Amino acid sequence: MTAIAIIGAMDEEIAHIAAALDGVTVTEEAGIKVTRGTIETNRGASIGVVATVGGMGTVNIAATTQHLIDTDRPDAVIFSGIAGNLNTNLHVNDVVLGGTLRYLDTDMRLVGQFKPGTADHPVEEYHSDDRLIGLADQALDDMGIHHIVGIIATGNYFVDDPKKVEQVIRETGADAVEMEGAAVAHVAARNDIPALVIRALSDNADTDYEDFKEFDISEYADTAAKLTVDIVKRM
């Protein structure tokens, strides 16, 4: 691996990642603030890192992901953020690694016709890369964070009531719901680049967004940055 793109949820998270990089530069590009630098892996290799905050929703995150791929040609894309919990065996602060990523409200018979799908064989879902999942799994074990490899559902709306929860679970079988993961994996797949989607559970999908946005998720930013830096160091 020679370059990794990291897309986070918060400025604080990218600031923590920047603190772990050598030779940091920050530029404004395509409406986003992009941080670049290098990191030394546990094996003594130097890896380039390009990191930014992705923006909310599938269109914002798709534009961000494609921009980083075009500018830095990364060998992998790591996306980290928060999600609503849909799995009664999981709790807030647990982590779901997006083994499978499914859109809500998207007709994959049509959308899935494009690479990596074809007109005859549209794809129905996207996947994080197995090797990256393995690295994240080890890093999370070492950090003592409870996690699963599961199904993540992505849609352009906040899920905050039992009816929506029931619908999302019925339609996708998801463990967690959020607004970007499938789009990151989708864009990475179009570009033949392995991706990893990491989601820390911030709520049980039962909190009104107006109340949710008052929550302090800054502790998450620290943990997420430590995790992504650890994953890169294991490469």
φ and ψ at 116, to 5 degrees?
-85, 0
Q: Is 5 among the residues that bind ligand ADE (CB under 6 A)? A: no
Q: Point out the residues that are catalytic.
A: 13, 203
Among 103, 158, 198, 200, binds ligand ADE (CB under 6 A): 158
66-85 residues near ligand ADE, rule: CB under 6 A: 82-84
Query: CA 26, CA 154: separation in Å to the nearest integer?
Result: 29
Considering the rule CB under 6 A, would residue 177 count as an interface residue with ligand ADE? yes
Residues 113-152, mask of contacts with ligand ADE (x by CB under 6 A): ----------------------------------------
Q: By the 8 A CB rule, do 231 and 139 touch?
A: yes
What is the rounded distance in angstroms from the CA atom of residue 190 to the CA atom of residue 185? Answer: 9
Residue nearest to ligand ADE (CB): 84
Query: Who's near 61: CB < 8 A, 6+ residues apart?
Result: 7, 54, 55, 79, 179, 180, 183, 184
Residue 61 in contact with ligand ADE, rule: CB under 6 A? no
- To ligand ADE, the closest distance from the beta carbon of 12 in angstroms equals 16
Taking the C-alpha atoms of residue 174 and residue 169, their distance in angstroms, rounded to an integer, is 6
Residues in touch with ligand ADE (CB under 6 A): 82-84, 158-160, 177-179, 202-203, 205
